[in-house]
Chains A and B, each alone.
Chain A
Amino acid sequence: MLRIQHLVKQYKTGDQALKSVSLEVPKGQVLALIGPSGAGKSTLIRCVNRLVEPTSGSIELAELNLVNLRSGELRKARRRMGMIFQEYALVERLSVMENVLSGRLGYVGFFRSFFRKYPQADIDEAFRLLERVGLDHMADKRADELSGGQRQRVGICRALMQTPDLLLVDEPTASLDPKTSRQIMRLICELCEERQLAAIINIHDVLLAQMFAKRIVGLQLGEIVYDGPPDGMSAEVLTQIYGEEDWEATIQNVDDDAEGSETNIEDVQQAV
């Protein structure tokens, strides 16, 4: 579904954020991208929807090469890629409903969006999604009145409003407490399963990654150093990705955690 080949990104400052990264994500697969700060995780997913312009390489979304698209075609392609952000990136002064509907901006014309005259089908879908994440009673609240977890749910709804084939998720839990983090990760994974979406989830919490993703890719200094199942994360692999450290407490038996109940929090606390 998504095929990245020899992707290179060099910033103007000369830093090479990505050094010939190749990655293939099949339909419906949830992939966790882990790695230390500055490894290029954010750059990688921003290259996919071209919020960051790649220097060279190719990125194909269902046979369509995204790298050379002109602005009109790029807008059309972006509709198929929903993005979820670390600090939620909601438009703070707009209402929850407006934020969710903004996921349709690629589909509706300027005047419809300006006067908030969205098609009834979009509004129905927005309410359906808000109901799915348990926020339908919040539709008319302003985004900045919501708690962190609630805001991230709105962010998820906005991304899904695009009816995407692919979700690009940038550190969805970095600003959330452990319990909310798990709920958000579980929600993202469930929704991907329901809609058969592929997802790339940037995450620096190794435990969460192991718990929820079917496949883990480790990025280090712009290169992929691990690509495999969650239970293949040994101390050596973690050392290779992050550097020397005592990894015993981080390596978990994934099967125990995958059930995803509240008791997990205690596991984490013990582990940490």
Chain B
Amino acid sequence: MMTSLHGSKREWQRRATGKQLMIWAGWLIGVAIFVYCWRLISDKTIWMFVEDAPRQAADLAERMVPPKWSYMEQLWQPVWDTLNIATLGTAMAIIIAVPIAFCAARNTTPSRVFVRPIALFIIVSSRSINSLIWALMLVTIIGPGVLAGVIAIGLRSVGFCAKLLYEAIEEIDPAQVEAITATGASGAQKLTYGIVPQILPAFAGISVFRWDINIRESTVLGLVGAGGIGLQLDASISTLAWTQVSLILLVILATVILSEWVSARIRHAII
């Protein structure tokens, strides 16, 4: 299709003419939808408020400074809780995710027909529910507090860790496993010698990456009563204590930067 005969000359185009036209039409439709949606949103916006926005923002910012540094005394415990929620939640997720990943990977699953779909279903259901929603449900089930947060983070992370891990398992070099099999190794030995060394870097990377994400996620869990610094944030906003809010935001920022730095260092060391 791409090469066409034109007299004695052979012409070459990247795509056939029909296909090229289709692509142009696709772009046209895309742009039209974008313009239409823009219109829709702009009609439903109360522009009076938007015109006011810079002044409101400036006002809020003014009320936020200076941060109320003395409030820090009350923040150490929630920050520590937040770190614990993230770390324990990640640990719980990893413990559950490893067996699920092995059941979900095509090359290690005990049964492709029965076990694999179940494992994939667990992964999808864990991933499809945000940790905030898990937390909301868990707070009603086991009451408010750090435990609800830990479990919420854990349940949300199981899917993430298991999915990335089973993809890593599926990408291993089968020749190494074959070589271990050829020595007369048992199933468990094949796992520990042929497969585990190959996925260890991915495993470490995934765990640290998820821990890093969980630090960020656990800062908001307090909004629904699941422990951590979000609790103080919620309280400060509802009492309009803006100087406390700004301090909390700074503390969250510092925590996240620290966790990113730590996870980057760990990943660098392992991989």
Q: Are A105 and B178 in contact (CB under 8 A)?
A: no
Among A49, A91, A94, A106, chain B packs the most CB atoms within 10 A around the CB of A91
Q: Please name all residues of chain B whose beta carbon is closer than 8 Å to the beta carbon of A91 when the two chains form the complex.
A: 176, 179-180, 193-194, 197-198
Among A75, A79, A98, A107, chain B packs the most CB atoms within 10 A around the CB of A75
Checking B178, B179, B192, B198 against A114 with a beta-carbon cut-off of 8 angstroms, the contacting residue is B192
Q: Are A113 and B184 in contact (CB under 8 A)?
A: no
Q: How far is the CB of B175 from chain A (nearest CB, A)?
A: 4
Checking A79, A92, A114 against B184 with a beta-carbon cut-off of 8 angstroms, the contacting residue is A79
Which chain A residues (75-108) contact chain B, with CB distance < 8 Å? 75-79, 81-83, 85, 87, 89-94, 98, 102-107
Q: B186: CB under 8 A from chain A? A: yes
Q: Please name all residues of chain B whose beta carbon is closer than 8 Å to the beta carbon of A162 when the two chains form the complex.
A: 183-184
Q: Please name all residues of chain A whose beta carbon is closer than 8 Å to the beta carbon of B185 when the two chains form the complex.
A: 75, 102, 105-106, 113
Q: B189: CB under 8 A from chain A? A: yes
Number of residues of chain B lying within 8 A (CB) of chain A: 21
Checking A51, A87, A113, A168 against B193 with a beta-carbon cut-off of 8 angstroms, the contacting residue is A113
Q: Are B183 and A103 in contact (CB under 8 A)?
A: yes
Which chain A residues (169-184) contact chain B, with CB distance < 8 Å? none
Known: A91-B194, A94-B197. A158 touches B178 (CB 8 A): no
Q: Is the interface of B mostly helix, strand, loop or mixed?
A: helix
- CA A155 to CA B188, docked complex, whole Å: 22
Checking B182, B193, B198 against A81 with a beta-carbon cut-off of 8 angstroms, the contacting residue is B182
Q: Are A83 and B176 in contact (CB under 8 A)?
A: no
Q: Are A105 and B176 in contact (CB under 8 A)?
A: no
Known: A102-B193, A113-B189. A90 touches B184 (CB 8 A): no
Q: Please name all residues of chain B whose beta carbon is closer than 8 Å to the beta carbon of A51 when the two chains form the complex.
A: 178, 181-182
A-side interface size class: 20 to 34
Q: Are A78 and B189 in contact (CB under 8 A)?
A: no
Known: A91-B197, A114-B192. A106 touches B180 (CB 8 A): no
By beta carbon, the residue of chain B nearest A108 is B189
- CA A107 to CA B183, docked complex, whole Å: 9
- CA A106 to CA B29, docked complex, whole Å: 64
By beta carbon, the residue of chain B nearest A98 is B193
Q: B75: CB under 8 A from chain A? A: no
Q: Please name all residues of chain A whose beta carbon is closer than 8 Å to the beta carbon of B188 when the two chains form the complex.
A: 110
Residue-by-residue, is A110-145 near B (CB-CB < 8 Å gives 1, otherwise 0)?
Answer: 100110000000000000000000000000000000
By beta carbon, the residue of chain B nearest A104 is B183
Among B178, B180, B183, B189, chain A packs the most CB atoms within 10 A around the CB of B183
Q: Please name all residues of chain A whose beta carbon is closer than 8 Å to the beta carbon of B192 when the two chains form the complex.
A: 110, 113-114
Checking B173, B182, B198 against A83 with a beta-carbon cut-off of 8 angstroms, the contacting residue is B182
- CA A51 to CA B200, docked complex, whole Å: 25
Known: A106-B184, A110-B189. A89 touches B178 (CB 8 A): yes
Q: Please name all residues of chain B whose beta carbon is closer than 8 Å to the beta carbon of A85 when the two chains form the complex.
A: 175, 178-179
Q: How far is the CB of B191 from chain A (nearest CB, A)?
A: 10
Q: Are B193 and A78 in contact (CB under 8 A)?
A: no
- CA A49 to CA B185, docked complex, whole Å: 13
Q: Please name all residues of chain B whose beta carbon is closer than 8 Å to the beta carbon of A98 when the two chains form the complex.
A: 193
By beta carbon, the residue of chain A nearest B201 is A93
Q: Please name all residues of chain B whose beta carbon is closer than 8 Å to the beta carbon of A107 when the two chains form the complex.
A: 184
Q: Please name all residues of chain A whose beta carbon is closer than 8 Å to the beta carbon of B179 when the two chains form the complex.
A: 83, 85, 89-91, 155, 158
Q: Are A49 and B180 in contact (CB under 8 A)?
A: no
Q: Are B183 and A105 in contact (CB under 8 A)?
A: yes
In the complex, 9 of the A-B residue pairs with CB atoms within 8 angstroms, ordered by the A residue number, are: A77-B184, A87-B175, A89-B178, A93-B198, A102-B193, A105-B180, A106-B184, A110-B188, A158-B183
Across the A-B interface, the 8 shortest Cβ-Cβ residue pairs:
A106-B184, A89-B179, A105-B185, A78-B184, A79-B184, A83-B182, A89-B175, A93-B197
